[in-house]
A and B are shown apart, each in its own frame.
Chain A
Amino acid sequence: MKKTKQIFNQIFANKAQMILLSICIILSISTFICADSLKNNSINYIKTDSKIINGADIIIQTNKPYSKELNDVIQELRNNKDIVIANSYSFSSMSYSPKKNNSILSQVRIVTDTYPLYGNVKLLKGEELNLKNNNIVVEQELLDKLDLEIGDEIKIGNKIFTISNILINEPDRPLTLFDIGPRILIDEIYIEEINLVGERSRVDYKTLIKTNDKNDADLLVLKINSQLSDEKEKAILYSENNNTLKIFVDNFLFFIKLITIFIIILTGITISSIILTYLNNQKQTIGIRKTLGEENTSIIKFYYISILIVTTISIILSIIIAFFIMKSFPYIFSGILPQEISFTIDINSILIGIFLGLVITTLFALYPLLTIKKIKPLDIFRKEESINKLLYDKYFYIINTIIFLFFSTLVFIEIENVKTSLYLIIGFLSLFVIILFLNIIILKTIKKIKIKNLELKHAIKGLFRIGNKTLLVLTTISLSITIIFTISFIEFNLQEQYFKSFPANSPNLFIIDIPKENQSQIQNIIGTDNITFYPVIRGSLLSINDVSTKDIEEKRKRQGDSLTRTFSLTYTDKLLENEKIIASLEPNQMFKSNLNNDIIQVSVLDMVAESFNGKLGDELIFLIQGVEIKSQIVSIRKRTDNSINAFFYFTFEEKILKDAPQTIFSALNVENEKIPAIQNKIAKDFPTITVINAQSTAKSVAEIINKLSTVVSFFTIFSLITGIMILISSIIATNKERIKETVLYKLVGCNRNFILKIFTYEYLLIGIISSIIAITFSYITTFIIIKYTLNSDFTTFSLKLMIYSFITIISILTIGLISSINIIKEKPIEYIVKNQIE
């Protein structure tokens, strides 16, 4: 009991360090518990509800009408009593209200009456889904935007429907974040009447299959695929379907895991610093204990237990705080993650959190505890600080290697991908080492500069005071701020890119799927001759220089635009206004005159040419409306801006495609006030034509970006707190030295202002150095990501940069000065009396 009392006395006597230690542990463990719980809940949801999320046991999905082969297979399946099939056709279309004479772009889904195969469609009125008798269900957004109510009519395609209920949720559409436009559900029996689904439409075709027995599903997939020859028509088991939700959630959780790992590592370094300070302050006590004959093991155990007690209490608090943080998740993630994902703390995450808390603290306490061995009884007689020879011995390297291996293992486990984990570890380590060396150079340079200003001179001296660990503090703060700046700059660049896509004179109205025969009527509705109409012919690229695009894709394994997808081809004899030729057989000409008439010429946009290392003379074989066309690249074009004007990857001569089945597309700029009228007129008279109001779409996209930004900002706050902890812990680590210095300055006649100026300069220097380093690295990182990963334009954001740096510097200064108030106020007599021997 006496020992326990001693330990608790020890803890209370070193309140400041213990509180700081506790905060660091709470920060890292509560973040981990929340992030891990979210991850587990998301994975569980996707796994457990996978059938519901996918809507079936087996899915067949294409973006073109089914081949005869596939239709035969499906018909055969329908004859099987153990199999239930639902069809689904999804596309964008205008929905028009005759009552209000207004319209809106909607996400239409036509389904068979067997839908849904799993789960339930949730409706406001709580009834069963009934889409017969011209009834449709729509999302609330449609009613709000068109000012309609249940019972009102709406025209979709060539048919008028009655809104019978409000759609709240579809079981196989958990992610609604990226949907632009309200959802409408329609029964399949009206598909022909609507007349929107056909060869020229942009439709997502799905067949959902439910079997009675799991084993059957595996065999059934094999059987179906064995009967299909088209590579794009394949059946997939629900558990193998990498749907949008899974991809999005995976990417999203990856980001959160990264931040969590980063926070754990930085707080770990801070924990080490705090414990080292704690034990340094105990030097005399330890010296006395050794003088009285206590052994190293006993002393180390004593201090380890005191640290362990604080750790245990902190872990308990972490769990409690994690519960509260988790309560905020539904608000933060609302609209981003499916509402079915539970935002509850996972017991496994708690257990791992406890384990992590204990292990991390032990690992980072290990070296400081071992330094106890080096303290001699003689140290109780030493009042002056000796040079710290504790670092860089063999234990330092061994323990830090263990710590490195532990965190590397943690990264591997969290990221679940060896290559990505290695990149991350190497990246983080490299960043740390580079920043460390940069700081060494900066500090050495500052030390050599001859300063006239007395306070500044002493502030610089202060950076090198014993135990200041300025290098470590600067490096960890710089790292912390670099992460925050990088996230912010990437966000700014993406937003800027987004806004650049919408310059003032850019098109604000897009009209898609105009039948050729209606072109002049559309022109009349718009009321101007100044419209460009682009013919659009749907086709796919089969091979490049005799290598199939499928093989090329498999080798590339690249995400993003696929070469095997259906492209919108066009024909024209002149360049678009925002294009230029960068390579051509005939100088500055899209097509070569006097070329062999057997050769079909194609002009290619540089973006897509780069994706397959395309060059002049390459042979491309297209499949256009069932006809194979062999063509040769005769020119490569480049866009001169990234605005949302029309552009085409592949352009042919007019004579080649003018008779092919086609629709017309137009992108134009009209006065904003005229858009609704144009939209409504076209929706009413030409229901198969889609009209997109770019402004309102842009607004929806902006809302999505804002939602994601909120989440990013929320997690960035944890990074910020980590940075603050690092700063405060460094001040406390040097409290004794700072007090002594303050007293000594006062003894020789310095007043408080003088000392305040020294501290101010010191924190300003830390702030400025950290900011410069953070700006440099976030610049470089953002540039690489924007330019080479996202293939976008990089903007420097000089003003925002300055503002962020200013805020960082002022924050560091404020926190530093607030933490130093008591030091500045310290009276010489208090220090002297403590040190006098009467």
Chain B
Amino acid sequence: MSILEAEKITKKFKVDNKYIEILKGINLKIDKGEFVAIKGSSGSGKSTFLNIIAGLDKPTTGKIKLLNKDITYSKEEELSKLRNKDIGFVFQSFYLIPSLSVYENIILPSEISKETNHKRVLELIEEVGISNRKNSYPIQLSGGEKQRVAIARALVNKPKILFADEPTGNLDSENSEKIIELLIKLQKEYDLTLILVTHEKQISDKASRVIEIKDGKIINDIKQK
């Protein structure tokens, strides 16, 4: 069953009175539980596409259905609920709230949904391997540690989909490897649909499906083992 459907997605940006077409009519369906890597070189439109299917941005034309709901023209309020309960995000720049500790950053989504679950937070902290840093602040963490916190935060409300945009972009190779392994482990454990954008082959090789975008179009859509 499709958890995400993108239909004839185009995206244009206006620059200096000229329109630049970043996405040129993309169609895509992703099933529940898939680990999908969206691959492409810099400027291919992969991040733009991810932002649209994650509900962060609106397509110029086309339709997005997420969890059986057409979110193409959903209002910000509806999308907030989706982000809190059903979707998780992991970004290259981590995006942790600087004034909150590790623990506070992770527990925040559950506090917002008023389903605060301290036990789950502690489990996740343990699982991502940052138990000894739970009272530290983002400024005191390394890149790898920050990304682990971001992952834990993304999973605290048991989302159905996890979107990750170049999650290892700011990490060294050792940490990158560890983060990807962690994502895969959690994806399996929680039966998540993981949609990950990357330009690195060694990361996309680990996915069960690789979608390659070039010049705003899908040029390859390969199911791997």
Contacts and interface: CB of A to CB of B under 8 A. Distances in A.
Interface string A721-747: 000000000000000010011011111
Nearest to B146: A384
Contacts, number: 90
Contact of B47 (A386, A752, A836): A836
Contacts of B76: 746, 751-752, 827
A461 B100 contact: yes
Q: Looking at A461, A744, A833, which has the most chain B CB atoms within 10 Å of its CB?
A: A744
Given A385-B98, A749-B80, A749-B83, A837 B109 contact: no
B138 A461 contact: no
Contacts of A750: 80, 84, 112
A838 B42 contact: yes
A336 to B, nearest CB: 51
Q: Looking at A740, A750, A754, A832, which has the most chain B CB atoms within 10 Å of its CB?
A: A832
A837 B85 CA distance: 27
Interface stretch (A166-174, A462-470, A624-632): A462-470
A751 B80 contact: yes
Contacts of B162: none
A383 interface: yes
B172 to A, nearest CB: 14
Contacts of A746: 76, 80, 83
A744 B97 contact: yes
Nearest to B159: A749
A347 interface: no
Interface string A799-838: 0000000000000000000000000000111001101111
A748 interface: yes
B77 A747 contact: no
Contacts of A828: 56
B38 interface: no
A507 to B, nearest CB: 65
Given A383-B93, A748-B112, A461 B84 contact: no
A837 B92 contact: yes
A465 B77 contact: no
B85 A741 contact: no
A468 to B, nearest CB: 9
A387 interface: yes
A744 B77 contact: no
Interface residues of B, number: 42
A759 to B, nearest CB: 14
Contacts of A124: none
A743 B96 CA distance: 10
B169 interface: yes
A748 B56 contact: no
B139 A748 contact: no
B47 A838 contact: yes
A829 B51 contact: yes
Contacts of A745: 97, 108
Interface string B94-115: 1111111000100011011100
B5 interface: no
Contacts of B89: 747
B39 interface: no
B166 interface: yes
A744 B95 contact: yes
Contacts of A827: 76
B35 interface: no
B98 A835 contact: no
B139 A837 contact: no
Contacts of B108: 745, 748
A454 interface: yes
A832 B48 CA distance: 10
B129 interface: no
B87 to A, nearest CB: 8
Interface string B38-76: 000011111110010000110000000000000000001
Given A385-B139, A751-B76, A838-B42, A833 B81 contact: no
Contacts of B98: 384-385, 465-466, 737, 741
Nearest to B77: A751
Contacts of B145: none
B51 A749 contact: no
A828 B93 CA distance: 14
A466 B100 CA distance: 11
Contacts of B104: 461
Nearest to A460: B99
A454 B112 contact: yes
A838 B43 contact: yes
B153 interface: yes
Contact of B99 (A386, A466, A748, A751): A466
A832 B91 contact: yes
Interface in B130-170: 138-139, 153, 157, 165-166, 169
B97 A833 contact: no
A69 B152 CA distance: 103
Contact of B84 (A462, A464, A748): A748
A462 B80 contact: no
A108 to B, nearest CB: 74
B112 A749 contact: yes
A838 to B, nearest CB: 5
B97 A829 contact: no
Contacts of B77: 751-752
Nearest to A827: B76
Interface string A328-346: 0000000000000000000
B99 A465 contact: yes
Given A462-B99, A828-B56, A749 B109 contact: yes
Contacts of A748: 83-84, 108-109, 112, 153
A750 B94 CA distance: 18
A829 B42 contact: no
Contacts of B109: 748-749
Contacts of A461: 97, 99-100, 104
Contact of B95 (A454, A747, A838): A747
Contact of B51 (A385, A740, A741, A832): A832
Contacts of B47: 836, 838
B42 A454 contact: no
A152 to B, nearest CB: 80
B93 A464 contact: no
Interface string A382-394: 0111110000000
A837 B111 contact: no
A837 B113 contact: no
A696 to B, nearest CB: 64
11 contacts: A461-B97, A744-B96, A747-B95, A748-B153, A749-B82, A832-B91, A833-B57, A836-B92, A837-B92, A837-B166, A838-B47
Pairs of residues from A and B, 6 with the lowest C-beta to C-beta distance, nearest first: A749-B84, A751-B80, A749-B83, A461-B99, A829-B57, A748-B109
Interface of A: 383-387, 454, 461-462, 464-466, 737, 740-741, 743-752, 754, 827-829, 832-833, 835-838
Given A384-B139, A749-B113, 19 more contacts: A454-B112, A461-B99, A462-B99, A465-B98, A466-B98, A744-B97, A745-B97, A748-B112, A748-B153, A749-B80, A751-B76, A751-B77, A752-B77, A829-B57, A832-B56, A836-B47, A837-B92, A838-B43, A838-B47
